[in-house]
Amino acid sequence: MNIEIIAVGRMKKSPEGEILNTYLKRCPWSVKITEVEERRPIKGVERMAREGDLILNAIPNGAIVIALDERGKEMRSTAFAEKIRNYQDQGISNLVFLIGGADGYDLIVKERAQLKISLGHMTWPHMMVRAMLGEQLYRASTILQGHPYHKD
């Protein structure tokens, strides 16, 4: 299975980037990160629409799309791993995770996502979300392999 993280914004050299890379190196799946960015000084709805276009254009054809959204479904790590297992069992070859911009997603992006998940009720910095998603992908792989990393 190929996994892609499409994220708004550019990650510079940072502690969050180091954490993300540490977990992605451990992950048995191929994980690609695609960054999209609107550089024009536009705001609000116009910015969300432009970021939405950039996100949608980056999604591979036929991919299952999971948007990380503060209003999405919360799930335990074991349920997240099981969701990934189900996609693998269905023969899904491309799984895409979206991390939106500061203003959120345009409605068309939300409609494109087959699933919206939340990392909790709190608001997290976008670069921290990348690291947290990387850790959860690694954790899911260890759960599916029966490795003792995850304590339940």
Sheet of 115-118: strand order equals: 30-36, 2-8, 94-99, 64-74, 115-118
42 pLDDT band (50/70/90 cuts)?
Answer: confident
Does residue 151 form part of some domain? no
Does residue 89 form part of some domain? yes
Residue 83 has pLDDT above 90, yes or no: yes
Residue-number span of the structural domain to which 95 is assigned:
2-145
**Angle subtended at Cα 59 by Cα 96 and Cα 82, rounded to the nearest 5 degrees:** 15
Does residue 58 form part of some domain? yes
Residue with tokens 């791993």: 81
Averaged pLDDT for residues 34-38: 94
Does residue 150 form part of some domain? no
- Is the pTM of the predicted complex or chain greater than 0.85? yes
Q: Which helix (H) or strand (E) holds 86?
A: helix 77-89
Q: Are 35 and 10 in contact (CB under 8 A)?
A: yes
Looking at this protein, which amino acid is placed at residue 75?
M
